[in-house]
Amino acid sequence: MDIIEPWSLYATPRNAVRQFLIACHGAGEQAGFSPPFRQRKLPTRALVYVSEGSGTYTSAPGAPSVPIQAPAVVWLFPGVEHGYGPDREGWNEHWILFAGESFAAFEELGVGNRTHPVLSLERPIDGADLLFAKLRASLATVGARSELAASLATQRLLLAIVDAVDASDEATDLPPYLNQLAQDAARRLDVADRARQVGMSVGVLSARVKAATGRTLGDFVIEVRIAKAQALLAETGLDIGVIAERVGYDDPAYFSRLFTRRVGVAPTVFRLQQARSIHTELDKL
């Protein structure tokens, strides 16, 4: 087992960081054996990354213990009673206290599940040592810059956890089935046809898309279509109806309503905001 120098540091992030970012309230690392504890409640969220060793997690008194086998993450929630600790052989533990509404984006990707507080990873978290070193350096100083650095390191760790759930190399490249779905997004296919295109059942494909993107299959297709429509609006002078047809919609009015609901402005307004050619012509006037 690797030797870890024990440390723990705490912070009180300013309101702006807590409101708009993921705020780091503390972090630390420790190794070896420490007696398991019970019936603790935290005021913030927390995650415990076990990089080596094994142990158990408990919730309310009388609830069964949940085994923890590295690599694994334990999610802790504000006000929820819990306890955990290593087996006699000890473990390597890395923890963070954090808060922030923007964590909802990570929850959509399946992290921080209240019903499954112990998350087994397919592989160790890439760069965990470096991220905790950055957290330690950030928390050791006081100031806005340090709070932002700690927030960024926490978000990077959360994203690395998402990547470590899947043992494949899909963290940087879209998996083939998502690439195929994206390529076929403008085609007028029903859900069963899309599943056949990638060689999966509807249930399996829907579950994989949800796990990989945090979106339903239908929502993923719509997002791809809207993204392509945005590019066409900004980079071409094509009529709105033509763009609607190119991204998979026969009815320009329906496309405009959907675009407005998703983007926040109508297609014509988006073009006025984003198209460089329009602003170049205005500059000449």
Same domain as 147, residue 19: yes
Q: In this model, does residue 26 exceed pLDDT 60?
A: yes
Domain assignment of residue 181, yes or no:
yes
Same domain? For 155 and 215 the reply is no
In a domain, residue 171? The reply is no
The whole-model pTM stands at 0.68
Q: What is the 3-state secondary structure (H, E, C) of the chain?
A: CCCCCCEEEECCCCHHHHHHCCEEEEEEEEEECCCCCCCECECCEEEEEEEEEEEEEECCCCCCCEEEECCEEEEECECCCEEEEEEEEEEEEEEEEEECHHHHHHHCCCCCCCCCCEEECCCCCCCHHHHHHHHHHHHCCCCHHHHHHHHHHHHHHHHHHHHHHCCCCCCCCCCHHHHHHHHCCCCCCCHHHHHHHCCCCHHHHHHHHHHHHCCCHHHHHHHHHHHHHHHHHHHCCCCHHHHHHHCCCCCHHHHHHHHHHHHCCCHHHHHHHHCHHHHHHHHHC
Q: Tokens at residue 116, please?
A: 């499954």
Residues 258 and 130 in one domain: no
Same domain, 108 and 16: yes
CATH code: domain of residue 58: 2.60.120.280
Whether the per-residue pLDDT at 60 is higher than 80: the answer is: no
Q: Are residues 112 and 155 in the same domain?
A: yes
Whether residue 139 lies inside any domain: the answer is: yes
Residue range 159-170, pLDDT digits in tens: 899 888 765 444
The total number of structural domains that make up the chain: 2
Domain of 147, in residue numbers: 7-165
Task: Please check whether residues 15 and 109 belong to one and the same domain.
Answer: yes
Same domain, 26 and 147: yes
Q: Tell me, yes or no, whether 40 and 154 share the same domain.
A: yes
Residue 285 clears pLDDT 80, i.e. is over it? no
Q: What average pLDDT does the structure give for the chain?
A: 87
Q: In this predicted model, what pLDDT tens digit does every residue of 112-151 receive, in sequence order?
A: 877 889 999 989 998 999 999 999 999 999 889 999 999 9
For residues 123 and 182, state if they share a domain. Answer: no
- Could you tell me if 208 and 129 lie in one domain? no
Residues 158 and 253 in one domain: no
**Each residue of 176-201: pLDDT tens digit?**
888 889 999 999 999 999 999 999 99
Do 126 and 236 lie in one domain? The reply is no
Residue 96 lies in a domain: yes
Q: What is the pLDDT of residue 281?
A: 44
* Domain presence at residue 170: no
Residue-wise over 42-77: b if at least 16 C-beta within 10 A, else e? eebbbbbbbbbbebbbbbeeeeeeeebebbbbbbbe
